[in-house]
Amino acid sequence: MNNYIPNQVKDLSTSKQRVMENVVDEVENTSRRSKYKWRYLVITAVLAITAMLFVYNEILIENEQQALSEMQLDFTKPTLSEEQGLLYLHGVTLGDSQSKVIERLGVNYKVDDYEDGSGADFILDYGGIARFYFYQDKLDSIIFMKVDKTYFDKLFNDYNGFKFLTPTTGDDRYFYSKETGQLLKATIVPDGNLYLYLMRGGKDLLENPDFPKIEQILN
């Protein structure tokens, strides 16, 4: 039967080695690509989740700050500060835009388009006790009504800036900025409430004979 016997058997070890190397390389490459793919997917997912958490956290902080700001604002006890000659009530001053005032004071207001004699384009009214008058989208004047009298007495006494009384009555008290001409007036109205007005008085205000003499200026 076995009449044919080959003279030489071909050595296949080299071919087998090559095949094995190719198989191993392919397995390793596939594993490496799969590993890289999963790594990219995990990194992408982590970055996406981090970004969403950051945005969500910023929204929460903004909402909390706005809610806290609105809760802390008491229009019967307006805060007063001065910066570069500008007088600020509850963090807003004359010349501020409508959007800036709303951002600072909150959205619990109603809008009046006009008021006879005011000259304002529109008015933001907060609870009927604080009104902000705008002309060409710039805050032109402020009125705080029903201001706490005891609170204002302390505020006036503690103020280290330029302040004075009128010569005709001790009830009207003023803060005045020589740099900007801003005038803050406190007066008792006929119904007994204390009104606080922030307006532009003009830099020549002190030359008016109806305003105080030097001995009535309080330091």
Query: What SS3 state is found at 157?
Result: helix
pLDDT digit string, tens, across residues 6-36: 555 455 566 656 656 665 566 566 655 555 5
User: Cα(90)–Cα(93) distance, rounded to whole angstroms?
Assistant: 9
The confidence score (pLDDT) of residue 68 equals 40
Predicted TM-score (pTM) of this structure:
0.63
Which of residues 55, 72, 89 is at a domain's end? Answer: 72
pLDDT digit string, tens, across residues 122-135: 899 999 999 999 99
Cα-based distances in Å from 120 to 1, 66, 105, 144, 150 = 121, 27, 19, 16, 31
Q: Confirm whether 2 is domain-assigned.
A: no
Q: Both 66 and 174 in a single domain?
A: no
Q: Which amino acid is at 134?
A: F
The confidence score (pLDDT) of residue 67 equals 45
User: Cα(211)–Cα(160) distance, rounded to whole angstroms?
Assistant: 20
Q: Confirm whether 5 is domain-assigned.
A: no
Q: Confirm whether 54 is domain-assigned.
A: yes
Asked if pLDDT for residue 106 goes beyond 70, the answer is: yes
Q: Both 126 and 43 in a single domain?
A: no
Count up the domains in the chain and report the number: 2
Query: What SS3 state is found at 68?
Result: helix
Q: Both 23 and 67 in a single domain?
A: yes
Q: Both 138 and 56 in a single domain?
A: no
Q: Confirm whether 4 is domain-assigned.
A: no
Q: Both 18 and 110 in a single domain?
A: no
Asked if pLDDT for residue 80 goes beyond 70, the answer is: yes
The confidence score (pLDDT) of residue 144 equals 97
Q: Both 54 and 112 in a single domain?
A: no
Q: Both 130 and 99 in a single domain?
A: yes
Q: Confirm whether 145 is domain-assigned.
A: yes
Q: Both 157 and 98 in a single domain?
A: yes
Q: Both 89 and 154 in a single domain?
A: yes
Q: Which domain holds residue 121?
A: 80-218
Share of the chain above pLDDT 90, in %: 42
Q: Both 85 and 187 in a single domain?
A: yes
Q: Both 67 and 122 in a single domain?
A: no
Q: Both 192 and 212 in a single domain?
A: yes
Asked if pLDDT for residue 38 goes beyond 90, the answer is: no
Check if the beta carbon of residue 125 is closer than 8 Å to that of residue 111.
yes
The confidence score (pLDDT) of residue 69 equals 46
